[in-house]
Structure 1
Amino acid sequence: MSLEIKNLTKKFGEQTALHNINLDIHKNEIIGLLGPNGAGKSTLMKSIVGALKIEEGEIIFDGKNITENETEVKKNIGFLPENNPLYLEMYVKEYLQFVADIHQISKEKVDEIIDLVGITPEKSKKISQLSKGYKQRVGLAQAILHAPDLLILDEPTNGLDPNQILEIRNVIKEIGKEKTVILSTHIMQEVEALCTRVILIHQGNIVQDADIADFKGKFNNLEEAFAHYTSVKIED
């Protein structure tokens, strides 16, 4: 698995959301994608998965330009957006079987993923009846059902209780042994527990791309490092 982002710039009217982003991402990395609200994290993730049109620069996934090979590339990417869009009137297993049918995946695989993310007791319920924690698990299940080479998670533990957070972290850690994960989060403990590398975006620019130890550097913790790097105004 390889992901190469070259000179990616994204503008919304007069606002530049991403400015000349260059990145190389390889197999078996769990990457913490950090940045203040409005820094450009979601824009970058949506660009990678093809949800936003690329107007300047290019993204190459496994040697293929994602704009020119959109369907083929999407088959190998899993995405859990922050708002976790689900069909609330569908039953859990029905929904995941629906996703599996799109990817031409067996029923046995659906049961395997249901077990992996810990929603077996809830599989016969309507999604609308689930707690937020279980809805997050269903969203994670749909993102990993087709065994993607790249998994992109936007705030996957948002709103979960401490036990649910630990359980979801363990699932992500297991996935990261075989796949590449890009994890956007504001929770620094999550970064420390899961990630091998940190990419920090501030005002649409990459201001840090380093392993955890180098990112932390001279600071006492990741929060201090984050506060320092995002306190500097970037000149156009």
Structure 2
Amino acid sequence: MTEALGSTTLSVIRDGVLAVHDISLSIVSGSWFGLIGANGSGKTSYLRAVAGRLELQGGTVRIDGADRTADRTGRAAAIGYAPDAAMLPGALTGRAALGIVAGDSDRALSAIGDIAAALALAPLLDRRIGACSAGQRQRIAIACAFAAGQGIVILDEPFNWLDPVAAYDLRHALAARVADGLTLVTALHDLATLSSACHAGALLTEGCVALELDAAALASARSDPAAFEARTIAHLRGQAAKVSVST
């Protein structure tokens, strides 16, 4: 299996605090990788640093096997990343925002493809972002991650603010895009999506990898979701050694 995205002993400082330290992960090409953890566990800092949106303090980042640690701009260009929905310029329309990302709005919509239907994007294209609800802004932000057509996309908690129908449609559209060869990395709070849709994953606590989840672990999670939930919550609470879950 070919590695699309990887890091070795990665460290990131945010606001003078070591938010990520010594994270080593390898993400296989054409797979969906899920990153979970409590608020403040370092998920966003890790993903933003890997994608070139934050400076690294240590470690290495690889894209398609090549060391891209020193090339922050190159990492940002190689990886599609959804902006913070709340930070999208309110004066722009959805179409204009997508056009900025891709250089051309028609090119952007072509690259987004079937994701646009899952996001019900069409009614938002000519609406000012400032007139959109939080969920509608989230749809535009997710579309931005696909607008330039990169083969690696990172989404930070993409299902936040989406209604149940939109979340359902987006999950299936993302899975279909991964089946077509996309490498997708998502920060998640939803254990059901992690176990049902992801091929591998990791749990972060206090900026470190507390637990790696390979294909076998997630297959086991699908067969007994209640046990998986209990084990994962125990890790999130830092009390895994005190909890015994029968299998």
Give TM-score scaled by structure 2 length: 0.82
**Alignment match, 1:206:** 209
What is the distance in 2 between the residues matched to 1:179 and 1:50?
19
What is the distance in 2 between the residues matched to 1:164 and 1:130?
15
Q: 1:18 to 1:112 in 2, by over 3 A?
A: closer
State which of 207, 228, 235 in structure 2 corresponds to 1:229: 235
Structural mapping, 1:1-236, within 5 Å: 2-12=4-14, 15-101=17-103, 107-110=106-109, 113=112, 116-117=115-116, 118-177=120-179, 178-211=181-214, 213-214=216-217, 220-232=226-238
Return the offset for 1:82: 5.0
Contact 2:115 2:170 in 1 (8 A): no
Amino acid at match of 2:228: L
Give TM-score scaled by structure 1 length: 0.86
Aligned length: 231
Structure 2 residues without counterparts, runs of 5 or longer: 241-247
Identity of aligned residues (%): 25
Contact 1:82 1:155 in 2 (8 A): no
Return the offset for 1:131: 2.7
Measured against aligned partners, the alpha-carbon deviations of 1:90-123 in whole angstroms (never above 9, x if no partner) come to 112122122221xxx5725425637632311232
Aligned with 1:173: secondary structure?
helix
RMSD: 2.6
What is the distance in 1 between the residues matched to 2:228 and 2:85?
26
What is the distance in 2 between the residues matched to 1:210 and 1:174?
22
What is the distance in 1 between the residues matched to 2:81 and 2:198?
18
Aligned with 1:175: secondary structure?
helix
Contact 1:92 1:122 in 2 (8 A): yes
Contact 1:151 1:182 in 2 (8 A): yes
Return the offset for 1:16: 3.1
Structure 1 residues without counterparts, runs of 5 or longer: none
> Which shows bigger deviation, 127-136 or 111-120?
111-120
